[in-house]
Chain A
Amino acid sequence: MKRTRVPPAIWLLAGLGLLLFFLPLAGLIVRAPWNQALGELTDPTTMTALALSLFCSVTATAIALVLGIPLAMILARTRGTLRNLLRALTTLPMVLPPVVGGVALLLAFGRRGIAGSLLYEAFGIQIPFTTAAAVMAETFVAMPFLVIAVEAGLRSLDHRYEEAARSLGAGYWRVFTRVTLPLLRPAIFSGAVLCWARALGEFGATITFAGNFPGRTQTVPIAVYIALETKPQAAITLSLILLVVSVAILVGMRDRWLGAL
């Protein structure tokens, strides 16, 4: 069968759309201070932000794994209205503007927040302005990506393997660790990578809930935002690093994502 010819107008609009993606990348690469990049990279502010970002995003991903896999299991088991409700609640942070997430976190876990006030009065613990707050903000925004991926994996799982293991006398936890988790590994892996990438790029919820202090809550995206006003070269270098990480993720995951499309 002959394919219909695509009219020029479609090509033109598609081209404009591509330009919108391409030009900013080109701008970043062309304007990058390549000869100073190494110097900017070893600058203490940059190093501190990178180390903090790495710590926060990895911790957020670890928490998302511990809490998100069980959450996905519950989601995969429920049906009907309850499931829709749980789903909506879990995926809300994906569509919620991050800064709104930050305000919500502040009103929940701040010193006068509905949960934070109890923590503060009972133990004198204040979450905002701490690294813990940055990790919480990142987990809040990024965990849905993991939950969605794992839930999809669970739904397409062939349950006969688990049943076989159970009929051979394996208990719940043994089946879970020896059969279910290994079968879910691809879904968990891609979910965790997506979750980590989202956590690494988190800005709005973090600056709103955790504030900005170098070494404590100033992650790379926040450092980029602030450096743009004082040291634009450093901002471009840091942006490049995040760009390289994103491209590396895309290339590394190309079979899983691009192949599936």
Chain B
Amino acid sequence: MTRTMLAILAAGIMSACGSGTTTCAIQASCGVGPSRTTLTVFAAASLQPAFDKIGDKLLSTQNIATTFSYAGTQTLTTQLTQGAPADVFASADVAHMTSVQSAGLLLSQSMVFAHNRLEIAVAKGNPKGIHSLADLARSRLVVVLADPSVPAGKYAAQALAKAGVAVHPASLEQQVTGVLSKVALGEADAGIVYHSDIVTSAQVDGVTIPDSQNVIADYPIAVLQSAQNQAGAVAFVDFVLSTEGQSILTSAGFQGV
């Protein structure tokens, strides 16, 4: 008995070590029925609200305890190519998934499971009267973007180029949630984030970007070669693509596939 406990604890710690942020691996695996399995998912920062719910659902219905590591997709890609162990990778763009694939790290073909649109995040009530991308070029307006190496930053640059707007950002954040928090804290007047970020944040308002200037982000997901829990990984991906998973994503502001 003690030995099994130790083994489970060790597995929990190992999966926790592989990820930057852990939510519940150790505690969750100590309650322990024999059928409980643990799973490590590397996911783009913007997926957190939706994936946390999906994780709860999988724990209650299939007894899979998921540990999420949320970060900028580019950070996760670096960690994976440096050998970080994980079961599932969910990226905020196709380019990073492709580079993980060409490093030979995918067990299965990746599949796009959701789309997202860009939106301008502003303070509650939009006190600065921002109504379009063009407004972001106003002087004395503090605009924060994601770094161009981050998918959200790349998409934002594309949208700004489409609109023909030159913005002078105050800071280039390492993940889209960094942009969101700078606006939520009131340090930035505006930032370009995803529609889903605004849907799930109670602290900011959104300004819609018209289709002609907007960029649609594709989110691919795949099981990794290094997966310790392949069955769990496949179950996770299947759930994300299921009607139930898709409805969780849609209510978090994503577009289903």
Contact = CB atoms under 8 A, between A and B. Distances in A.
Interface of A: 106, 110-112, 126, 128-129, 207, 210-213, 217, 225-226, 228-230
Given A129-B142, A213-B172, A217-B171, A111 B78 contact: no
B169 interface: yes
Contacts of B170: 128-129, 211, 213
Interface in B149-186: 149, 169-174, 182, 185-186
B186 A111 contact: yes
A226 B175 CA distance: 11
B182 A226 contact: no
Interface of B: 72, 74-75, 77-78, 142, 144, 147, 149, 169-174, 182, 185-188
8 smallest CB-CB distances across A and B, nearest first, come from A211-B171, A129-B170, A112-B186, A229-B74, A230-B149, A229-B78, A128-B187, A129-B171
Contacts of A126: 142, 187
A212 B187 contact: no
B147 A212 contact: yes
A211 B185 contact: no
Contacts of A210: 171
A212 B185 contact: no
Given A129-B142, A211-B144, A212-B147, A226 B187 contact: no
9 contacts: A106-B187, A111-B187, A112-B186, A112-B187, A129-B187, A211-B172, A212-B172, A213-B170, A226-B174
B97 to A, nearest CB: 15
A42 B8 CA distance: 51
B121 to A, nearest CB: 16
B176 to A, nearest CB: 14
B252 to A, nearest CB: 26
A229 B75 contact: yes
A19 B93 CA distance: 39
Contact of B182 (A211, A229, A230): A211
B94 to A, nearest CB: 17
B194 to A, nearest CB: 20
Contacts of B186: 110-112
Contacts of A112: 185-187
